[in-house]
A and B are shown apart, each in its own frame.
Chain A
Amino acid sequence: QPAKFAPYQKALREIRYSLLPFANESG
């Protein structure tokens, strides 16, 4: 079984990092 979101891992990582500074404390 290929890893989940395999071809999109790089894009997803970039988006995750870019959202990080704006995360609510509860989130």
Chain B
Amino acid sequence: MAEAITSRMSFTSLKRKQPKTFTVRIITMDAEMEFNCEMKWKGKDLFDLVCRTLGLRETWFFGLQYTIKDTIAWLRWIKKVLGHDVPKEEPVTFHFLAKFYPENVEEELVQDITQHLFFLQVKKQILEEKIYCPPEASVLLASYAVQAKYGDYDPSVHKRGFLAEEELLPKRVINLYQMTPEMWEERITAWYAEHRGRTRDEAEMEYLKIAQDTEMYGVNYFLIRNKKGTELLLGVDALGLHIYDLENRLTPKTSFPWNEIRNISYSDKEFTIKPLEKKIDVFKFNSSKLRVNKLILQLCIGNHDLFMRRRKADSLEVQQMKAQAREEKARKQMERQRL
């Protein structure tokens, strides 16, 4: 009897101690998962849990994205998850995405999982034409994407039509040529066959090495208005800030590299970029909303931090990660040779 009371008591106290939670859905580039998130959790608590679940250590490139009134926003680390302007119905949904891009994918993306998530995200942007990619580069990229998915080309397995269901090229590229799907498949397969021996990780890295050389890779564009009221585009990326004409997102009219900017600030909708060089004029512009200004400033701070960090020695954590990745690569290569 006494035992029964004790066990009932401990059950009650356990029940009382259970913190209040809500359900969060996280959508990554290739998976969806749900977590019970405590009411008091801050953005960082949830983000760390997602990274731990994915086994991702190069966390600094990523963020949890949500959309509010057609504007994208990122979860802030020090603010409570529910303190954000997120729809309050459960599950509260976030997209786990790369927020910042490396300057050099080969040097900076160490873990296979990091490379894979970048590969999937950049491939989607290219196929959806968010990034302009010339036709010849699109074909070469498609051939690496096929190598990553199908492994080495084997004509006895990869028969005519094996790519029929795959989305491999941007529609714009397909429309530029009078070629049947079979002709595209033939062309892509000819290059795919050239990549024999490349592992999935290597093929994905080759893909990223090509993609990072396209002009729009890693650039976040924002519609702005200069002091004269002219509409322009502001681009924020790993190297700095860029100003574009509306009709040309490829070549900036002006650029401000991060190491030539003294200060960036905004008050209400007005944004100010103060160059380091005093002779260069201060650049002022207006964005569409205060919410957009917040996003621009967040991206500026994050990209600037990474820009400075890249120019210093690697942290112990990164050194260790790189050493592990090298060992792992060497081990895989040995195994392949043995086979």
Contacts and interface: CB of A to CB of B under 8 A. Distances in A.
Interface in A13-27: 13, 15-16, 18-19, 22-24, 27
A7 B137 CA distance: 12
A8 B175 CA distance: 24
Contacts, number: 45
B217 to A, nearest CB: 11
A4 B194 CA distance: 21
Given A4-B213, A11-B140, A24 B175 contact: yes
A12 B231 CA distance: 35
Q: B-side binding surface: helix, strand, loop or mixed?
A: helix
Given A4-B213, A8-B140, A15 B178 contact: no
A23 B176 contact: yes
Nearest to B138: A15
Interface string B200-220: 000000000110010000000
Interface string B179-212: 1000100010001001000000000000001100
Contacts of A19: 135-136, 139, 177, 179, 187
B136 A15 contact: yes
Contact of A15 (B140, B179, B183): B140
**Which bracket fits the contact residues of B?**
10 to 19
Interface string B129-154: 00000111101100000000000000
B268 to A, nearest CB: 38
Nearest to A14: B136
Contacts of B134: 12
A22 B137 contact: no
Given A22-B178, A22-B179, A24-B177, A15 B213 contact: no
A5 B213 contact: yes
Contacts of A23: 176-178
Contacts of A22: 177-179, 183
A12 to B, nearest CB: 5
B277 to A, nearest CB: 21
Contact of B187 (A5, A13, A18, A24): A18
Contact of B191 (A4, A5, A11, A24): A11
Given A11-B194, A12-B137, 18 more contacts: A5-B210, A7-B209, A8-B137, A8-B140, A8-B210, A11-B140, A11-B191, A12-B134, A12-B140, A13-B136, A16-B135, A19-B177, A19-B187, A22-B177, A22-B178, A24-B176, A24-B178, A27-B176
14 contacts: A7-B209, A8-B137, A11-B140, A12-B140, A15-B136, A15-B140, A19-B135, A19-B136, A19-B139, A19-B177, A19-B179, A19-B187, A23-B178, A27-B176
Interface of B: 134-137, 139-140, 175-179, 183, 187, 191, 194, 209-210, 213
